Amino acid sequence: MATNPDVSVTLARNATVLATVGGTTFLVDPLFASQGALPPIDDTPNDRNNPLVPMPDVDLSHDAVIVTHRHPDHFDDAAKEALDPGVPLFCQPEEADAFVEEGFTDVRPVEDAASFAGVDLYRTPGRHGHGELAEKMGPVSGFVLAGDETLYVAGDTVWYEPVAETLARFDPDAVVLNGGAARFNHGEPITMGVEDVAAVREATDAAVAVVHMESINHCLLSREELRSETDGVLVPEDGAEIEF
């Protein structure tokens, strides 16, 4: 069991997590496809079909859904078909219309802040890579979930000043980062690698966990490598409840 009763997080696979704050559970970035059902992400060193691993047997019950951005490893057709179309679904404003067009009837775009079932939600900045590549990757967001305790789900971002500012502003009790050092054949990684994770660890007293590992073909940083090169960072296996 998690040691903090007010915040608990279970990793399903990749960035799909069940984040519970004050008894309210948010399903974040649902990727429901069967192992190998999706094509590989192009222009990467690894051409295996996605997801690389099966979905573990976890309870995916939830009160609401959060989609940090609509890249297919964060929201896929299988999730679209499986989710209740009436579920409260929080997202970036730029992507709200796409969910409505897909038949979701309670889409709640978050410009800055929202609230749900006693939890305050704050949308936070992200940068999906570096330089021109980050621009091409499109808008991404993180979310802070605040009840009696505060959880920061950073989303697909690298370490940069707005992440530091988010940590300083909200002083979270727990942080979930998307790792894997996802990359293409050219350019720098577009999600956090060892140095990014270490920078977050240095910047906060919060418990820090890293997900988005070993599930998608362009995520090349392994759990073993991340564990060996960082201190004080939780790197859960798929299906595990993260013990903050």
Domain spans, the chain:
7-242
Mean pLDDT of 108-137: 95
Distance CA 72, CA 69 (A): 9
pLDDT score, position 3: 46
Question: 177-223 pLDDT, tens per residue?
Answer: 999 999 999 999 999 999 999 999 999 999 999 999 999 999 999 99
Question: Could you tell me which residues are beta bridge partners of residue 26?
Answer: 19, 64
Contacts of 133 (CB under 8 A, 6+ apart): 184, 187, 188, 190
Question: 49-85 pLDDT, tens per residue?
Answer: 999 999 999 999 999 999 999 999 999 999 999 999 9
Distance CA 149, CA 145 (A): 8
> Which CATH superfamily groups domain 7-242?
Ribonuclease Z/Hydroxyacylglutathione hydrolase-like (3.60.15.10)
Q: Which of 90, 84, 87, 88 is nearest to 66 (CA)?
A: 90
